[in-house]
């Protein structure tokens, strides 16, 4: 079966200060489940940075992959 994707499986959007931890460990990671068991591997695939209109502002868009056994 394929992992089920729900919005509750994804970290919420957050706004952080410049000196805060912006890593996935600091802002949240994705999770996944399926209907058969809990053996779903979730891998962080990276991020894309999009600069904002103000100095030192940007948006990070992160991607995770979930693989079921």
Task: Kindly report, residue by residue over 15-68, the tens digit of the pLDDT.
Answer: 888 888 988 888 888 888 777 777 788 889 999 999 999 888 889 898 888 887
What is the band of 1 on the pLDDT scale with cuts at 50, 70, 90? very low
pLDDT higher at 4 or 34: 34
Q: For residue 5, what pLDDT is reported?
A: 54
Q: Which residues pair with 58 in a beta bridge?
A: 51
Residue 65's closest CA among 14, 29, 23? 29
> Burial code of 31-51, b = ≥16 C-beta within 10 A, e = fewer?
ebbeeeeeebeeeeeeeeeee
């Amino acid at each position: 079966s394929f992992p089920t994707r729900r919005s509750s499986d994804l970290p919420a959007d957050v706004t952080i200060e410049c000196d805060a931890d912006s890593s996935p460990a600091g802002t949240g990671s994705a999770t996944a489940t399926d209907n058969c068991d809990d053996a779903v591997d979730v891998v962080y695939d990276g991020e894309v940075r999009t600069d904002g209109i103000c100095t030192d502002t940007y948006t990070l868009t992160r991607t995770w992959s979930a693989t079921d056994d």
